[in-house]
């Protein structure tokens, strides 16, 4: 077991425990302490049975550690115990503040490492049959935080609403009405929208509509955070992919049937 002070910031993936990298698993196996967030799948902690597991995420009714407190815990446990793994949902460098933790640890003399994770911004739409880019439909995509450090909607949403790109908004459910207003302002009322809550997990819920009616869909489906908002014509590709998946399944069932007329 690694006993020198070290921090490894590790991406846990979007929620499905199988969507974690082999390198992340091996890093967890080498940990002395794991500081984990609220959105990680707790099954992943089984890869580090030898380590102390410490919850530092935010959940309603639970103590919330500030970023400064988490930084101090990282250094404290690294100096006392050796290898600290900071396990974060998705990819730690995509709205995960992983780079801030790396910078702080380095400034305190710790060895550091980063293990990228499968980001929910790509994996969750894909698991729902939504390609973020497709020839003839979308040439690019934006990934935007719905809430900035000032607790406001990112100004990039206004820029994205004027483009033809697919727009993926993380942490944006609390700002959905503002998002709808912005896209409506630029004449995008008919733009397809998907909202996927707890994507890639057994608790996944989703709703589909257009800018003009997505808020009604959210109320009807009782969708809430954590959820990903996908805006763009690629959302319309989902039924096509679903139909393709179903036809392949039916064809395989037919080919594997013991009796065919």
Q: In what order do the strands lie in the sheet with 111-115?
A: 52-55, 33-36, 83-88, 6-11, 111-115
Query: Angle at CA 71, nearest 5°, toward 39 and 78?
Result: 100
d(CA 176, CA 23): 36
Q: Which residue has tokens 């410490």? A: 54
CB half-sphere exposure, 132, CA atoms < 13 A: 19
Give the helix/strand (H/E) hosting 142.
Answer: strand 141-145
- CA angle at residue 50 from 89 to 16, to 5 degrees? 30
C-alpha distance from residue 229 to each of 96, 113, 141 (Å): 17, 31, 13
Active site residues: 37, 58, 171
């Amino acid at each position: 077991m690694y006993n020198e002070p070290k921090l490894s910031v590790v991406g846990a993936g979007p929620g499905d425990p199988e969507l974690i990298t082999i390198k992340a698993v091996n890093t967890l196996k080498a940990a002395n302490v794991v500081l984990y967030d609220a959105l990680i799948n707790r099954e992943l902690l089984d890869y580090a049975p030898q380590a102390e597991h410490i919850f530092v995420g935010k959940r309603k009714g639970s103590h919330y550690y500030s970023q400064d407190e988490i930084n101090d815990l990282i250094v404290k446990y690294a100096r006392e115990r050796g290898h600290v793994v900071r396990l974060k949902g998705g990819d730690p460098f995509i709205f995960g503040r992983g780079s801030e933790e790396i910078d702080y640890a380095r400034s305190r003399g710790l060895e550091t490492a980063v293990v990228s994770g499968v980001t929910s911004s790509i994996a969750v739409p894909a698991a729902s049959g939504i390609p973020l880019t497709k020839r003839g439909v979308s040439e690019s995509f934006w990934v935007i935080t719905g809430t900035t450090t000032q607790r406001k909607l990112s100004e990039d949403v206004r820029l994205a609403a004027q483009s033809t790109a697919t727009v993926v908004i993380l942490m944006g459910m609390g700002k959905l009405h503002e998002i709808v207003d912005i896209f409506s302002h630029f004449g995008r009322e008919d733009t397809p929208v998907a909202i996927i809550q707890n994507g890639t997990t057994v608790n996944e819920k989703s709703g589909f509509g257009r800018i003009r009616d997505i808020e009604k869909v959210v109320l009807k489906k009782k969708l809430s955070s954590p959820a990903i908002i996908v805006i763009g014509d690629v959302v319309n590709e989902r039924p096509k992919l679903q139909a393709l998946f179903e036809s392949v399944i039916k064809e395989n069932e037919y080919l594997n049937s013991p009796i065919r007329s």
